[in-house]
């Protein structure tokens, strides 16, 4: 989906009115009080909750029973749907004139009324730097990050800033064991190498894609990667590996940045 | 390089020559796994990372921002996410035993699976030219498609250490978080590796225990009493696991093991012995910790300040 900062396609009347109110100065946010104060301390103010959503029909692909393979149709669906949701959220943030979005949650909703449907939702709080310093990603889009307010503050203290959420997804079919393999292994203590390989492969693909996205975004690195395995109701042998994290770059003028020594504390409560 | 779905282009069309090459690679990977190594894809990705200039590559890490900032302060540079995993099939085991005994097929499967996973984690770290792994999560996987098997997955961030922190004997595995790693280093203590063991023991209920638990024709007992054989069984399993962990720590040249996580599972198995229905005990002990050694040269007096007490108002 092409990025179009002026697009309000699909945003209902009430949503446009809400964005209008946010532009006029009233903000909404899902930040806690602590997060709000820290984000403000870091020099940012919240502009409004921004949301992107996409209800996506996931196609079908026949897996061959005895082969470890990526389910490319499904991988592509998961990728594309998340991409749509994220881009729509970025567009909303852009319309508020935001520098970026913090505390992004990326959820998948499944409904009973649609077997092959999934809803992909991205929700976060759009923020803007009060001093007018530009904090957008090199691509010109608002940055996105799944960092909490606390983490956002700490990251800025280290002389880095977020550029965007990067992700990698891989839906993989784990081959069934052949009759010969199962017979050979019966009663034995052995490693199930083909299963190990399948899971390894799937994770590698997901991680490689995430890293490729980070390079694309000209990031220095990725922090807070969450790598997990999920099954979305495609049967026990089809699993999705999903890696997501926040790509970061050094902030301008941070070459001689010194991180203050932390003071150890003992919590008495 | 795999396609970036949705971002750059669609999926590539299938190509028979490519499929053949892929099948060959899969075969090679399986052979590498059989020798306890990491598969081809992983090895190649890590080799490219190791060969490339560090400044041109993005690192990936599962470090939280807090961990990242602490490690950054010490000059520790994250390289990439590394991982080790192994799915292991548990072999034949007896339905029940008459004597207290270790269930070797289960203990062995757990230990081998973890050993393979940790070795692969270490191999990946070596391949990428890193000096240590921090923020390691070691989890037991469970898959619907492989029932009756055990899996260990270890995922962490490989890091390059500054020369002062670098050990002399190759990369170091830890199951510490970044914060803990930082605190140890500044306190002048060097992590040297992971020590872990699992033991699974089977304890048949003795006649007295069976009677006390109220089975069969004898009826239950009304007395408070210790079930000596079960207590002994739990002790045996724990001692065995701890002994192995201590031995491993010795072999690593450690002074001690910290952050030991003891995980005990006990389950019953209903058996009928000589006409008496009773529950035998199966006890599983997982022990894992990081072996450490004192190294005063690392100590940073300024950082090892006395903690300030705070009262959280949250």
CA distance B220 to A154: 62
Cβ burial B262-272 (10 Å sphere, 16+ → b, else e): eeeeeeeeebe
- Least confident window among A37-46, A119-128, A253-262: A253-262
Residue-number span of the structural domain to which A90 is assigned: 13-250
Is B38 among the domain residues? no
By DSSP bridging, strand A238-250 and strand A117-129 are unpaired
Nearest Cα residue to A73 out of A116, A35, A110 = A116
With bands split at pLDDT 50, 70 and 90, how would you rate the model's confidence at B9? Answer: very low
More confident residue, B74 or A225: A225
To probe the interface with A, which of B5, B24, B148 has the most A CB atoms within 10 Å? Answer: B5
* ipTM of this predicted structure: 0.70
Residue-number span of the structural domain to which B153 is assigned: 58-298
More confident residue, A5 or A105: A105
Here the CATH number for the domain that contains residue A224 is: 3.30.110.70
Domain count, chain A: 1
To probe the interface with A, which of B58, B76, B121 has the most A CB atoms within 10 Å? Answer: B58
Helices (DSSP H) in chain A: which residue ranges? 13-23, 33-41, 72-95, 149-157, 179-185, 193-216
Which chain A residues contact residue B66 at CB under 8 A? 151, 154
Is A260 among the domain residues? no
Instruction: Inform me whether the pLDDT recorded for B2 exceeds 50.
Output: no
Which of A80, A188, A211 faces B58 most closely, judged by CB atoms? A211
Predicted confidence at residue A114, as pLDDT, reads: 66
Instruction: Inform me whether the pLDDT recorded for B162 exceeds 70.
Output: yes
Average pLDDT over residues A87-96: 90
Which chain B residues contact residue A79 at CB under 8 A? 5-7
- pTM of the model as a whole: 0.78
CA distance A200 to B25: 14
Predicted confidence at residue A99, as pLDDT, reads: 92
Angle at B25 between CA A192 and CA B37, to 5 degrees: 50
| Helix (H) / strand (E) containing B283 | strand B276-294
Is A258 among the domain residues? no
CB pairs under 8 A between A and B: 208
Which chain A residues contact residue B64 at CB under 8 A? 151, 223-224
Here the CATH number for the domain that contains residue B102 is: 3.30.110.70
DSSP conformation class of B235 = H
Is A7 among the domain residues? no
Is A183 among the domain residues? yes
Predicted confidence at residue B104, as pLDDT, reads: 86
Domain count, chain B: 1
Q: Does B63 touch chain A (CB under 8 A)?
A: yes
Q: What pairs with residue B85 in β-bridges?
A: B153
Is A263 among the domain residues? no
Instruction: Inform me whether the pLDDT recorded for B247 exceeds 90.
Output: yes
Is A54 among the domain residues? yes
CA distance B97 to B128: 47
Is A259 among the domain residues? no
CA distance B293 to B253: 7
Is B102 among the domain residues? yes
Q: Do A245 and B62 touch (CB under 8 A)?
A: yes
With bands split at pLDDT 50, 70 and 90, how would you rate the model's confidence at B219? Answer: low
CA distance B145 to B256: 40
Which of B60, B72, B116 faces A158 most closely, judged by CB atoms? B72
Q: Yes or no: say if A107 and A113 are a contact pair by the CB < 8 Å rule.
A: no
Instruction: Inform me whether the pLDDT recorded for B5 exceeds 50.
Output: no
Is A176 among the domain residues? yes
Average pLDDT over residues A147-154: 89
Q: What is the pLDDT of residues A192-247, one digit of tens each?
A: 888 888 888 888 899 889 988 888 888 888 998 888 888 777 778 888 888 899 99
């Amino acid at each position: 989906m092409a990025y179009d900062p002026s697009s309000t396609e699909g945003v209902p009347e009430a949503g446009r009115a809400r964005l209008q109110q946010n532009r006029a100065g009233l903000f909404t946010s899902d930040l806690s009080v602590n997060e709000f104060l820290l984000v403000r301390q870091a020099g940012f103010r919240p502009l409004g909750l921004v949301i992107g959503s996409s209800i996506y029909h996931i196609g079908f692909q026949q897996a061959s029973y005895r082969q470890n393979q990526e389910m490319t149709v499904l991988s592509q669906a998961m990728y594309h749907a998340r991409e749509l949701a994220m881009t729509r959220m970025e567009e909303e943030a852009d319309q508020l004139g935001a520098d970026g979005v913090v505390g992004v949650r990326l959820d998948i909703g499944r409904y009973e009324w649609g077997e092959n449907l999934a809803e992909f939702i991205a929700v976060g709080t759009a923020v803007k730097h009060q001093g007018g310093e530009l904090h957008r990603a090199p691509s010109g889009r608002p940055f996105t990050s799944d960092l909490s307010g606390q983490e956002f503050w700490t990251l800025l203290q280290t002389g880095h800033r977020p550029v965007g959420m990067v992700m990698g997804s891989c839906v993989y079919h784990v081959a069934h064991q052949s009759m010969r393999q199962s017979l050979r292994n019966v009663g034995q203590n052995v490693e199930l190498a083909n299963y190990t390989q399948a899971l390894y492969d799937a994770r590698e693909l997901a991680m490689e894609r995430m890293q490729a996205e980070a390079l694309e975004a000209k990031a220095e690195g990725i922090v807070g990667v969450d790598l997990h395995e999920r099954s979305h109701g495609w049967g026990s042998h089809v699993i999705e590996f999903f890696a997501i994290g926040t790509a970061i770059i050094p902030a301008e003028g941070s070459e001689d940045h010194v991180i203050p020594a932390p003071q150890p504390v003992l919590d008495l409560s | 390089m795999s396609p970036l779905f949705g971002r750059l282009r669609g999926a590539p069309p299938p190509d028979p020559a490519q499929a053949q090459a892929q099948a060959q690679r899969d075969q090679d990977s399986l052979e590498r796994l059989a020798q306890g190594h990491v598969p081809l894809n992983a090895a190649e990705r890590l080799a490219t990372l190791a060969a490339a200039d560090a400044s041109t590559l993005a690192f990936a890490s599962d470090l939280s921002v807090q961990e990242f900032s602490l490690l950054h302060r010490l000059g520790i540079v994250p390289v990439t996410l590394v991982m080790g995993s192994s799915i292991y099939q548990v072999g034949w085991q007896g339905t029940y035993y008459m004597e207290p005994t270790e269930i070797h097929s289960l203990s062995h499967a757990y230990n081998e699976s973890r050993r393979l996973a940790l070795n692969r984690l270490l191999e990946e770290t070596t391949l990428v030219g890193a000096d240590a792994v921090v923020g390691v999560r070691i989890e037991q996987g469970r898959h619907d498609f492989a029932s009756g098997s055990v899996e260990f997955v270890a995922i962490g961030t490989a890091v390059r250490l500054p020369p002062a922190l670098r050990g002399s004997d190759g990369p170091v595995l830890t199951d510490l978080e970044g914060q803990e790693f930082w605190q140890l280093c500044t306190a002048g203590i060097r992590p040297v590796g992971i020590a872990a063991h699992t033991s699974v023991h089977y304890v048949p209920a003795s006649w007295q225990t069976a009677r006390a638990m109220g089975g069969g024709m004898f009826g239950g007992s009304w007395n408070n009493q210790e079930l000596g054989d079960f207590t002994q069984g739990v002790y045996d399993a724990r001692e065995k696991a701890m002994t192995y962990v201590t031995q491993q720590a010795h072999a690593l040249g450690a002074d001690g093991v910290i952050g030991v996580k003891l995980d005990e599972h006990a389950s019953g198995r209903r058996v009928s012995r000589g006409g008496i229905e009773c529950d035998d005990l199966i006890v599983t002990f997982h022990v894992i910790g990081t072996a450490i050694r004192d190294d005063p040269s690392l100590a940073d007096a300024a950082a090892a300040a006395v903690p300030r007490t705070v009262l959280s108002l949250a």
